[in-house]
A and B are shown apart, each in its own frame.
Chain A
Amino acid sequence: MQNKKLTTLACAAAFAALSGAANAQISGDTVKVGVLTDLSGTYSDLAGAGAVLATQMAIDDFMAEAKPAFKVEMVSADHQNKADIASNKAREWFEREGVDVATELVTTSTALAVMKIAKEMNRVALMSGPASTPITNEQCNDVTVHYTYDTYALANGTARAVTKQGGDTWYFLTADYAFGQALERDSSAVVTANGGKVLGSVRHPFPASDFSSFLLQAQASGAKIIGLANAGADTTNAIKQAAEFGITPKQALAGLLMFISDVHSLGLKNTQGMYLTTGFYWDLNDDTRAWSKRFFEKQNRMPTMVQAGQYSSVLHYLRAVQAIGSDDSAKVMTQMKKTPINDFFAKDGQIREDGRMVHDMYLVQVKKPEESKYPWDYYHVRQVIPAAEAFQPLSESRCPLIKN
Chain B
Amino acid sequence: MSHRGAASGAPVREFHMEIFGVPSALLGSQLLVGLINGSFYAILSLGLAIIFGLLNIINFAHGAQYMMGAFVAWIALTKFGINYWVSLLLAPIVVGALGVVIERTMLRRLYKLDHLYGLLLTFGLALIFEGIFRDQYGISGQSYEVPELLQGGVNLGFMFLPIYRAWIVVAALTVCFGTWFMIEKTKLGSYLRAGTENPQMVQALGINVPLLITFTYGYGVALAAFAGVLAAPVYQVNPLMGSNLIIVVFAVVVIGGMGSIMGSIVTGLGLGLIEGLTRVFYPEGSAVVVFIIMVIVLLVRPAGLFGKT
Q: Can you list 23 contacts pairing A with B, beta carbon distance less than 8 Å? A: A40-B138, A45-B138, A176-B284, A205-B286, A209-B236, A209-B245, A210-B37, A210-B234, A213-B276, A216-B29, A219-B12, A220-B11, A220-B23, A220-B25, A224-B9, A233-B139, A236-B141, A236-B236, A246-B155, A250-B10, A250-B11, A252-B9, A267-B143
| Chain B residues numbered 217-249 whose CB sits less than 8 Å from any CB in chain A | 234-236, 238, 241, 244-245
B236 touching A40, Cβ below 8 Å: no
B283 touching A214, Cβ below 8 Å: yes
Kindly provide the distance from the CB of B229 to the nearest chain A CB, expressed in whole angstroms. Answer: 15
Kindly provide the distance from the CB of A344 to the nearest chain B CB, expressed in whole angstroms. Answer: 26
Q: How large is the interface on A (under 10, 10 to 19, 20 to 34, 35 or more residues)?
A: 35 or more
**Given the contacts A217-B279, A222-B11, A42 and B236 also touching, CB distance less than 8 Å:** no
Among B9, B33, B36, contact of A222 (Cβ-Cβ < 8 Å): B9
**Given the contacts A40-B134, A44-B140, A176-B284, A250 and B9 also touching, CB distance less than 8 Å:** yes
**Considering residues A44, A204, A207, A209, which has the most beta carbons from chain B within 10 angstroms of its beta carbon?**
A209
Kindly provide the distance from the CB of B16 to the nearest chain A CB, expressed in whole angstroms. Answer: 12
Q: What residues of chain B lie closer than 8 Å to A169, measured between beta carbons?
A: 9
Closest 5 CB pairs of A and B: A246-B160, A224-B9, A213-B279, A251-B9, A219-B11
Interface status of A272 (Cβ within 8 A of chain B): no
A209 touching B139, Cβ below 8 Å: no
Interface status of A375 (Cβ within 8 A of chain B): no
Dominant secondary structure of chain A at its interface with chain B: mixed
Q: What residues of chain B lie closer than 8 Å to A224, measured between beta carbons?
A: 8-9
Interface status of A120 (Cβ within 8 A of chain B): no
B153 touching A265, Cβ below 8 Å: no
**Given the contacts A217-B26, A244-B162, A237 and B236 also touching, CB distance less than 8 Å:** yes
| Chain B residues numbered 128-187 whose CB sits less than 8 Å from any CB in chain A | 134-135, 138-143, 146, 153, 155, 159-160, 162, 164-165
Among A176, A250, A252, A266, contact of B143 (Cβ-Cβ < 8 Å): A266
Q: Which residues of B contact A (CB under 8 A)?
A: 6, 8-12, 23, 25-26, 29-30, 33-34, 36-37, 134-135, 138-143, 146, 153, 155, 159-160, 162, 164-165, 234-236, 238, 241, 244-245, 276, 279-280, 283-284, 286-287
Among B37, B159, B234, B238, contact of A244 (Cβ-Cβ < 8 Å): B234
A212 touching B33, Cβ below 8 Å: yes
Q: How far is the CA of A220 from the CA of B158 in the complex (A)?
A: 10
Kindly provide the distance from the CB of A251 to the nearest chain B CB, expressed in whole angstroms. Answer: 4
Q: What residues of chain A lie closer than 8 Å to B146, measured between beta carbons?
A: 244
